[in-house]
Structure 1
Amino acid sequence: MKKINCLRIAFVFLIGLSTQAQTKVWTLEECVKYAIKNNISIKQSELDTISASIDKRGAFGNFLPTASLNANHSWNIGLNQDITTGLLRNQTTQFSGVGANVGVDIYKGMQNQNTLRKANLSIVASKYQLLKMQEDIALNVANAFLQVLFNKENLKVQKEQLVINEKQFKRSEELVKAGSIPRGDLLDVKATVASNKQNVITAENALLISKLSLAQLLQLKEFWDFDVIDDTNAKDENNIMSIKPIDIYAKAKESRTELKIAQTNLEIAEKDVAISKGAYQPTLTGFYNFNTRASYSDIVVGSTPNLENPTSVVGFVEGTNQNVLRPNSLPVLGNAAPIMDQFSDNKGHSFGAQLSIPVFNGFSVRNNVERSKVALEKTKIALEKEDLDLQRNVYTAFTDAKGALNAHESSIVALESREEAYNYAKEKYAVGLMNSFDFNQSQTLLTNAQSEVLRTKYDYIFKIKILEFYFGIPIIKS
């Protein structure tokens, strides 16, 4: 028995901890900010912005000189010409060389300048794309948030209806005992109670799924204790419905991110055309080269008479045919000069400019220009399409919001009528003037009217948010 009591105490303690953990509820502003900070798609878009910045550094690097160092060391083994004697002999020689090269583009058909301008535009486009991603995420979060609120209120309606029907079941039992209604009516009410319990379970599942969807959109890992605050009312706080659709459209053209993206893409395409056309023009490049070398072979340091072959005939005197003799000598070899001295003595420099004029390249430049022009026309069409889509979306959003407001107001009127009809039916059923089937029908119509009020309420709220979105009013205030 003591063991059972301890288990009960522990269970109550854990329930208390769980209740404390669930006290945190999220507002719409908190949900949107958290999603923007943690959403995977936004993180990917942020990486695209970083990549665009790297591309800009690469474009700026085209203006800087290129410099490189080189070094080599080689062995020549076998039959080689002796550079000291000019004779062929089997030997192994070694050579070392070092050098440096510097080059700079002086003129390249304005391609470097246009590439840098394109890189700057790409950064702007990536930032607009990131902003567009954040706006889309905010709108999706708002929709999911409102869906949670709808399911929470719908669950309340179903629970309240279940309580009413359970009371009605007890009341019907008393009426059956008193003989006021037949037992068949009691069975109808009992079936209605069972159906209401099923509706409560369905509403609980819908609420759980909507919370899970919102938590996943926020990239929450611990979503089992996730809940949102339910203090949203259906009202036009910014009086957006009083503004004409044409004025909303004019404001949207100034602020909507998708138009800015399309406009920036058009400017990027124009730079692509300029870059491709630059390949038609000559290029002028400046260069500077430095090199030096060293050899590890013996060198000639002097000469000595050739005692075996002292002289050699190099000609004869005309008329007398007397031979002209030249003394023969042999080179005296010594060690190679110190390496650093050779590097210093053998160094050389070269510099100048190289002009390259394109004459014929198999139509590659021409084809690139034509492709870039086609891409430019596509971006122009895309910009026009974005403008038309924006105009259609604004007018559609205004019409949807107006229709949602009318539907919500009509559902409220319908609910008031259903409540009066239900109260009247309840009075008739209590005195036996209405059977259980007709009474249950009245209850069902009332429940449907309550659900319709909730549905139209949150549909109106979301459509107002969309209309405000086009007008430049953010989902949350920064």
Structure 2
Amino acid sequence: NINLVANSNLTLFAGQQITNSIKQNQTDIEAAKFNVLATENNITLNVINLFINVVFAKEQLNIAENQLATTKEQLTVTTKLVDAGSLPLANKLDIQAQNATNELEVINASNNLRIAKLNLAQSMQIPFDNRLEVITPDLNPENYGLTQKVVDEIFEIALELMPEIKAAQLGIESAEFGVKIAKAGFLPTLGIGASAFSNYIDQFFMGERPDFSTQVRNNFSNSANFQLNIPILSNFRNRANVQRARLQKRLSEIQEEETRNQLRQDIESAYTNAYAARQSYQASQIRVSSLEEAFRIAQQRFDAGAINFADYQLAQNNYFNSQADLVTAKYTYIFRVKVLDFYLGNPLKL
């Protein structure tokens, strides 16, 4: 025997469970898109920071090489004076020691540049090659002005722009659909169903065996029905579903509030750091100017034999260290300004 059965069911009403499920899934997709944008923003900020680190390392290497060149020049002059008997041998030995120290500083600065390039290449997921060169834009701090807006203004702008805020808000919306879906479990459902049946019997009838299509056609029957399901007892399952959905909504609201608070804290930190970095940069400029003049005078006095090498070396180290500090302050300031620009929705360009 062969039995052929076909059934079909269509839900006519289910408390908008299907509609709300579709809306919830669409909301979740939109939230996921904003989460992707938030991740892209974080990656962009990180790459900019790593790029600035490369440029910073290049300038630090340049400072170390200049200091070494200055020491080598002084060593040449001192060697001639020692050979002529004008200066004691100890002066030459002191400068040779300083020269070795400066050579080590150049090596260290070169290694730091290599590491900075490596970090940048890895963040961009490209093969590392120490020959990698970055095009250094005009990173004059004077071209990177601080915004005149206060924290509250920046925060209000960021609330409308930051994708993590939009994702958190959509999380609440999705949870609201979840509550509606759970509540629909208390409502009746109405559906319509249809079925069709036929069969084939491989037996002779009155000396004949009807063919397959004839038997199927002659034995065919169908029916239709309405299905009404009224939830009376569900072992508290529906109530538990509603409680879980409401809890999820509350968690989403807490997550959104935490995201807002974190954003405000990040902006407050960025604002404070940017202003502190500008003050540090301005102070470093003054310090470099003063120590440059002090080193120039010390060099003249050392050449004239008016001061010993220890005093000369101190003036030299103070000057070149101040240059290194200025470079640090310069790039710290530029990056802090770009972070504030990011929260204001300005392009992340150097």
TM-score, normalised to structure 2, is: 0.96
State which of 130, 136, 148 in structure 1 corresponds to 2:36: 130
Aligned-residue offset at 1:174: 1.7
Q: Which residue of 1 aligns with 2:211?
A: 338
Aligned-residue offset at 1:177: 2.5
State which of 454, 457, 469 in structure 1 corresponds to 2:330: 457
Q: Secondary structure at the match of 2:186?
A: coil
Q: Distance in 2 between matches of 1:232 and 1:280?
A: 66
Q: Which residue of 2 aligns with 1:219?
A: 125
Aligned-residue offset at 1:238: 6.6
Are residues 237 and 249 of structure 1, via their aligned partners in 2, closer, same or farther at CA, if it must alter by over 3 Å? farther
1:180/1:431 contact within 8 Å kept: no
**Structure 1: which amino acid aligns with 2:112?**
A
Q: Which residue of 1 aligns with 2:199?
A: 293
Quick check: 1:362 aligned with 2:268? no
Q: Which residue of 2 aligns with 1:120?
A: 26
RMSD: 1.5
Q: Which residue of 1 aligns with 2:171?
A: 265
Unmatched 5+ residue regions in structure 1?
Answer: 1-94, 302-333
2:145/2:337 contact within 8 Å kept: no
Q: Distance in 1 between matches of 2:308 and 2:8?
A: 102
Q: Distance in 1 between matches of 2:39 and 2:139?
A: 27
1:241/1:402 contact within 8 Å kept: no
State which of 167, 183, 186 in structure 2 corresponds to 1:280: 186
Q: Give CA deviations for 1:238-281 in whole Å, capped at 9, x if unaligned.
A: 74432222211121111111111111111111111111111111
Q: Distance in 1 between matches of 2:41 and 2:101?
A: 42
Q: Distance in 1 between matches of 2:131 and 2:48?
A: 20
Q: Which residue of 1 aligns with 2:301?
A: 428
Larger RCO: 1 or 2 (CA < 8 Å, sep 6+): 2
**Structure 2: which amino acid aligns with 1:428?**
R
Are residues 358 and 244 of structure 1, via their aligned partners in 2, closer, same or farther at CA, if it must alter by over 3 Å? same
Q: Give CA deviations for 1:51-72 in whole Å, capped at 9, x if unaligned.
A: xxxxxxxxxxxxxxxxxxxxxx
Quick check: 1:198 aligned with 2:109? no
Q: Distance in 2 between matches of 1:458 and 1:204?
A: 18
**Structure 1: which amino acid aligns with 2:214?**
D
State which of 5, 9, 13 in structure 2 corresponds to 1:107: 13
Aligned-residue offset at 1:117: 0.8
Aligned-residue offset at 1:225: 3.3
Q: Secondary structure at the match of 2:147?
A: helix
Quick check: 1:408 aligned with 2:281? yes
Quick check: 1:385 aligned with 2:219? no
2:196/2:223 contact within 8 Å kept: yes
Q: Give CA deviations for 1:57-108 in whole Å, capped at 9, x if unaligned.
A: xxxxxxxxxxxxxxxxxxxxxxxxxxxxxxxxxxxxxx11223222111111
* Superposition pairs of residues 19-418 of structure 1, within 5 angstroms: 95-221=1-127, 223-235=129-141, 237=143, 239-299=145-205, 301=206, 334-418=207-291
Q: Secondary structure at the match of 1:112?
A: helix
1:394/1:467 contact within 8 Å kept: yes
Q: Give CA deviations for 1:348-397 in whole Å, capped at 9, x if unaligned.
A: 10111111111112222211111111111111112122222222221221
**Structure 2: which amino acid aligns with 1:247?**
E
Q: Secondary structure at the match of 1:298?
A: coil
Give percent identity, aligned residues only.
31
- Which protein has the bigger strand share? 1
1:295/1:336 contact within 8 Å kept: no
Q: Distance in 2 between matches of 1:464 and 1:153?
A: 20
Q: Distance in 2 between matches of 1:279 and 1:391?
A: 40
Q: Give CA deviations for 1:141-194 in whole Å, capped at 9, x if unaligned.
A: 000000000000111111111111101101111221233332112111101111
1:269/1:376 contact within 8 Å kept: yes
**Structure 2: which amino acid aligns with 1:135?**
N
Which of 215-224 and 194-203 deviates more? 215-224
Are residues 236 and 189 of structure 1, via their aligned partners in 2, closer, same or farther at CA, if it must alter by over 3 Å? closer
TM-score, normalised to structure 1, is: 0.71
Q: Distance in 1 between matches of 2:77 and 2:130?
A: 39
Q: Distance in 2 between matches of 1:177 and 1:368?
A: 94
Are residues 190 and 140 of structure 1, via their aligned partners in 2, closer, same or farther at CA, if it must alter by over 3 Å? same
Q: Distance in 1 between matches of 2:80 and 2:144?
A: 54
Are residues 224 and 436 of structure 1, via their aligned partners in 2, closer, same or farther at CA, if it must alter by over 3 Å? closer
2:141/2:330 contact within 8 Å kept: no
Q: Secondary structure at the match of 1:475?
A: coil
2:122/2:128 contact within 8 Å kept: no
**Which of 1 and 2 has greater Rg?**
1
**Structure 1: which amino acid aligns with 2:312?**
F
How many residues of Structure 1 are paired with residues of Structure 2 in the alignment?
A: 350
Q: Secondary structure at the match of 1:99?
A: strand
1:422/1:446 contact within 8 Å kept: yes
**Structure 2: which amino acid aligns with 1:103?**
N
Q: Which residue of 2 aligns with 1:440?
A: 313
Q: Distance in 2 between matches of 1:272 and 1:234?
A: 53
